[in-house]
Amino acid sequence: MIGDAGTERFLLEISGNKSLIIIGANPSTADEKKTDRTVTMGMAIADKYGYDGLVFLNLYPQRTRDPKELHTESNKSLHERNLEVIKSVIEKAYNPMGFWRMATLCCLVPISSAICMRL
C-alpha cells in the first residue's frame, strides 16, 4: 500500500502473476491485511476474468467510507502524487514489445456497474 493508512491511499496491490488494474472513485478503508466489500468484489471480478492479482488505484486518494466526506476542493499535492502513482502503474504494466502484462483495465464507478475493457 502506498499512502498514509489513515487519510489517503494511492495504491493497494494484491500480488499475482496476472493482475487486474481497478480504478475507483476514492479509496476504501481496506489495506493489505484487511479487506472490505470493495476489495472482495474486485477479487471476484478478477477471478471471473482469470486474474490472480489486483492493483487498486483511485481518481482521488482521500480515504473515506462515505464519498460525501471527500474534500470539497482538490488538494493539489495529493492530486499530483496520485497522478504520478497512476502513471507509474500504467508504465509498469506496459511492455515495450507492445504487449500488456496487466491486460485489463477495470473502472469501478460505482463498483456495482463495473466496466471492463481489454487493452
Residue 42 structural domain: 12-66+74-118
Confirm whether 29 is domain-assigned: yes
Confirm whether 6 is domain-assigned: no
Confirm whether 7 is domain-assigned: no
Domain total for the chain?
Answer: 1
Confirm whether 5 is domain-assigned: no
Segment-wise mean pLDDT, segments of 10 residues, the chain, 119 residues = 77 88 84 84 88 88 83 87 90 55 44 38
What is the per-residue pLDDT for 73? Answer: 84
Confirm whether 111 is domain-assigned: yes
What global pTM score does this model have?
Answer: 0.73
Confirm whether 18 is domain-assigned: yes
Length of the chain: 119
Confirm whether 88 is domain-assigned: yes
Q: How far, in Å, are 26, 31, 76, 109 from residue 68 at the CA level?
A: 11, 21, 19, 15
